[in-house]
Structure 1
Amino acid sequence: MNAVFQPYPYPLIAILRGLTPEEAPQVGKVLFDTGFRMLEVPLNRPGAIEAMQSLVRIAPADAMIGAGTVLTVAQVDAVRQAGGRLVVSPHCAEEVIAHAAGLGMLTLPGVATPTEALRALQAGAHGLKLFPAEMVPPAAFKAIRSILPEGTPMFPVGGVTPQNMAEYAAVGATGFGIGGQLYAPGRDADALRAAAEAFMQERQQLIRNAA
């Protein structure tokens, strides 16, 4: 499973930091309606597991819901028990990667160097979260990609906007993780929808350019 994870061209992961269980159904509906199919709720805020469960309950059949900021094996187990299938970490924790992969969950650990990237793949990561992307500009991203196995899914995360996605796609990004540029606690549905549509429009442009 390590070699290829590419459910569709340029998957976008919505990073919903601070999402509450009460807000989750409305936020999830807006994102699903605009085309998002990968959603993560970072665990370093109260109510994260409950919010993730709310998303799982309303998710389309082709969606993948899970958690971010997963730091321990115990948290992996909690995410799986709550119905999550996606495990995203900010760092390369080999025991977390191996445990999640062993449970059949999609694991995308955070890396910022060639050493971390190779260690993560050896531990069983299905793809790599290049984080923070502000520290891994396109030129550095390209250099890291050049030493990885062909077809390794790579997601810049941190500071991703519709305006800079093409720069990363040009040097091998296969998807993107999007946080504060998309969602922030309390953002109203219209603003969220407008942001989501802008990212999806750029994704469609990348697909056209790659055709």
Structure 2
Amino acid sequence: MSTDLASVLDSRILPVLTVPRAATAGPLAEALVQGGARCAEVTFRTPDAEQALKAMATHGGLTVGAGTVLTPEQAERAVAAGARFVVSPGFDAEVVAKCVELGVPVLPGIATATELLRALRAGIDTVKLFPAEALGGVQMLRSLAAPFTQARFVPTGGIGLAHVSAYLAHPAVLAIGGSWMATAAHLEHGEYAAIRRLTAEAVARSAA
């Protein structure tokens, strides 16, 4: 699974999107692609999330996954809507098993060494470190990566442009996820130019 995720996240920047209305999905996808993003996570936090994911999944040049997936049933719905990968805020064995059954890469969240150990024992070697900044940021990442040299991380939670370089400098970090590139306020006010600019800044910082 890590190989598939490595391919999906090769740009190293994962915009995390909470889309309030499906009607914004098309312009949002276009703004992200114009900014240089190649993947995005649509969180299952709004009533329109499934329809938004479906709309964005049809946009060329953008690989779309589902986030905040809490149950196997949600995983099924996400994949049916076009999700190419699944992200969960925590480690749930049933969600992982369902994703394996569906043949889709899964990125479970972990916050402790115990949770990371459970993920590794389940055959998952790439995990979401969440909530990364609240847990201690890069220092926490280093502490977990040291004894678990086989693990790869996608830190998410409280991350902004100022954190990009420090996280991506660590060899265990596959990519970083963040919502600052396309916030609810951006979407509410149709600020697609700002989304494009913020995404481009993040992509440029990741390549520096």
TM-score, normalising length: structure 2: 0.89
How far does residue 13 in structure 1 lie from its aligned partner after superposition?
1.2
Q: 2:204 aligns with which of 201, 205, 211?
A: 201
> CA–CA distance in 2 between the matches of 1:28 and 1:34?
10
How far does residue 3 in structure 1 lie from its aligned partner after superposition?
6.7
> CA–CA distance in 1 between the matches of 2:2 and 2:57?
25
> Percent identity over the alignment?
29
State the one-letter code of the partner of 1:191: A
- CA contact 2:11–2:38 (8 Å) conserved in 1: no
State the one-letter code of the partner of 1:184: T
SS of residue matched to 1:71: coil
CA RMSD of aligned residues (A): 1.8
Q: Unaligned regions of 5+ residues in structure 2, if any?
A: none
> CA–CA distance in 2 between the matches of 1:49 and 1:2?
25
Aligned partner of 1:137 in structure 2 is 137
How far does residue 4 in structure 1 lie from its aligned partner after superposition?
7.2
SS of residue matched to 1:6: helix
- CA contact 2:88–2:107 (8 Å) conserved in 1: yes
1:30 equivalent to 2:6? Answer no
- CA contact 2:32–2:196 (8 Å) conserved in 1: yes
> CA–CA distance in 1 between the matches of 2:97 and 2:86?
11
Aligned partner of 2:46 in structure 1 is 45
Aligned pair count?
Answer: 201
Q: Unaligned regions of 5+ residues in structure 1, if any?
A: 206-211
Matches within 5 A, 1:1-211: 1-2=1-2, 5-7=5-7, 9=10, 11-60=12-61, 63-125=62-124, 127-134=126-133, 135-150=135-150, 152-171=151-170, 172-179=172-179, 181-187=180-186, 188-205=191-208
SS of residue matched to 1:193: helix
> CA–CA distance in 1 between the matches of 2:110 and 2:11?
19
State the one-letter code of the partner of 2:192: A
> CA–CA distance in 2 between the matches of 1:2 and 1:123?
13
> CA–CA distance in 1 between the matches of 2:75 and 2:177?
19
How far does residue 9 in structure 1 lie from its aligned partner after superposition?
4.4
After superposing the two structures, state which structure 1 stretch, 84-93 or 120-129, moved more: 120-129
How far does residue 186 in structure 1 lie from its aligned partner after superposition?
4.4
> CA–CA distance in 1 between the matches of 2:14 and 2:126?
13
Distance 1:161 1:196, change over 3 A: same
- CA contact 2:75–2:99 (8 Å) conserved in 1: yes
